[in-house]
Every structure is written in structure tokens, then in C-alpha cells.
């Protein structure tokens, strides 16, 4: 009698086992059918019926058919496993590609930010190195003084400053008055705008040299004093 179990069946899942059982049943049915005689082999009426044993070729054909069907089932199962592995492999590859793209995007964004920061730093550095260079003459001193005054909110114009400088010192930054009342009191007026030392000390603007004879320091301190007393150096038209 043929066994209903196929080698390796215990390792199959429920659906696969059911398929194998069906194949085995079909094989048994085929063998049984081969063993039952046809009508041509029936005994005469009234006599006892006897079954003829199946020939060796019939049994061999049934056994071969059953094995071929089992092999077909195994082939289908193997194909399903291969397909499942391929699907899993494709999914893994897709996930890996997505992660690689995300990592590349993040790296590109980080690089763009770093480059932008570097450009901003470079621009700031260039701006610092491009500090205006003023000529070392009356025009340059007045223009540099105006730039400093603008930062500190001190009013005054180029013409107003220039006019008072010409009247007070004729544009000589080392000018000193040794004959007026201030000189008699021991505090002579000095520099382009003839500032006395106490006034220079009180109205000196930080960031400029603490030197009354320095042309820019003298102009800025004098304009700071004039803004406090007269509103602006532009309003000064005589000794102040």
C-alpha cells in the first residue's frame, strides 16, 4: 500500500501540506483504479468474482505519476519561495536607496549652509578690510571726522566744519593761541578748531586718539561741544 506521507511534508506550511495530500490521494486513486478489473474481466453469472492483481507495469506507472506530481508541487513551492525572496530583496533595496537619497540630501543641505556661512564670513572680512582710507590732509580729516560723527549722532556738515577751521587755525593742526584770555589763564586753545584742554577732555569721543593735536580728534571733540552748546558746528560763525 502507498504511504500518504511525502518525504519532507512535515516541513511545509498548512496550505502546502493540503496540496501534497491532494496529490497523494490522486495517486492512490489511480493505483486503486488500475487494480479493479474492467467489465471485460467479469466472471460469468453465478460465479464468484475475483480481482486480478495489477501488473507490474500498471503499478510502476501509478508510482511514477505520483512522484511527478509531488515534484511539480515542490517546484511550485520553490518558485513561490524564490518569488518571496525576490520581493523581500527588492523591498530591502528600495529602502536602502531611499535612505541613501535622504542621507545625500541632508549632506548637500549641510554643505550649502556651511558654504553660505563661509561666504558671509568672507564678505564681513572683506568689508572690514575695505575700511575707507582718507588722505592725510584737511579734506581727508574733515571727511573722516564726519564718518565718526555720524556713528555717534553728532550733527555738522563739511562746509560748516571747513569754514570754522579756516577762521580758527587756517588749517594748521598744530596751531596754538598764546595771547588770548585762555592763554593768559594757562589753558591756551589748540588744534584745527582751537579747543582748550578742559573742553577737549570733556567732549573727547571714544575711538579717536586722546590727543588734542590729532586733527580728527580735535574736529570731532569741537563738533561734539558745538552740538551741545549751539546745536551744531554749522551754527558757529565766530569765536565759541
**pLDDT by 10-residue block (mean), the chain, 240 residues:** 45 52 48 43 41 50 57 79 79 84 89 87 69 94 98 97 97 96 95 97 96 98 97 92
Of the residues 92, 126, 160, which one is the last residue of a structural domain? Answer: 126
Residue-level pLDDT at 21: 53
Residue-level pLDDT at 198: 97
* Structural domain that includes position 161: 138-235
Q: Which of helix, strand or coil describes residue 161?
A: helix
Residues 13 and 121 in one domain: yes
Residues 75 and 147 in one domain: no
Residues 21 and 112 in one domain: yes
Residues 16 and 107 in one domain: yes
Where would I find the H helices in the chain?
A: 14-35, 56-129, 138-152, 158-169, 181-184, 197-203, 215-230
Tally Cβ neighbours within 10 Å of residue 58.
15
In a domain, 4, yes or no: no
Q: How far apart are CA 153 and CA 164, in angstroms?
A: 20
Residue-level pLDDT at 240: 84
In a domain, 167, yes or no: yes
Of the residues 101, 126, 151, which one is the last residue of a structural domain? Answer: 126
CB half-sphere exposure, 136, CA atoms < 13 A: 1
Residues 95 and 151 in one domain: no
Residues 176 and 229 in one domain: yes
Nearest to 165 by CA among 197, 140, 202, 135: 140
Structural domains in the chain (count): 2
In a domain, 146, yes or no: yes
Residue-level pLDDT at 239: 83
In a domain, 43, yes or no: no
Amino acid at each position: 500500500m502507498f504511504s500518504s506521507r511525502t518525504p519532507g511534508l512535515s516541513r511545509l506550511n498548512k496550505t502546502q501540506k493540503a496540496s501534497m495530500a491532494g496529490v497523494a490521494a490522486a495517486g492512490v486513486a489511480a493505483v486503486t483504479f488500475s487494480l479493479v478489473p474492467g467489465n471485460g474481466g467479469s466472471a460469468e453469472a453465478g460465479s464468484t468474482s475475483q480481482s486480478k492483481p495489477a501488473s507490474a507495469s500498471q503499478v510502476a506507472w501509478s508510482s511514477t505519476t505520483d512522484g511527478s506530481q509531488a515534484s511539480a508541487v515542490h517546484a511550485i513551492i520553490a518558485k513561490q519561495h524564490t518569488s518571496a525572496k525576490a520581493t523581500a530583496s527588492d523591498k530591502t533595496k528600495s529602502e536602502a536607496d531611499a535612505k541613501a537619497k535622504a542621507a545625500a540630501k541632508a549632506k548637500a543641505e549641510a554643505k550649502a549652509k556651511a558654504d553660505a556661512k563661509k561666504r558671509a564670513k568672507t564678505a564681513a572680512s572683506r568689508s572690514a578690510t575695505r575700511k575707507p582710507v582718507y588722505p592725510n590732509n584737511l579734506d581727508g580729516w574733515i571727511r573722516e571726522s564726519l564718518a565718526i560723527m555720524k556713528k555717534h549722532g553728532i550733527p555738522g556738515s563739511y562746509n560748516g566744519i571747513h569754514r570754522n577751521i579756516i577762521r580758527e587755525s587756517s588749517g594748521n593742526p598744530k596751531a596754538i593761541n598764546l595771547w588770548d584770555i585762555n592763554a593768559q589763564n594757562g589753558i591756551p586753545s589748540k588744534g584745527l578748531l582751537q579747543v582748550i584742554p578742559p573742553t577737549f577732555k570733556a567732549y573727547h569721543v571714544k575711538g579717536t586718539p586722546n590727543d588734542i593735536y590729532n586733527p580728527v580728534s580735535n574736529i570731532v571733540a569741537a563738533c561734539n561741544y558745538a552740538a551741545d552748546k549751539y546745536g551744531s558746528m554749522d551754527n558757529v560763525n565766530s569765536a565759541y
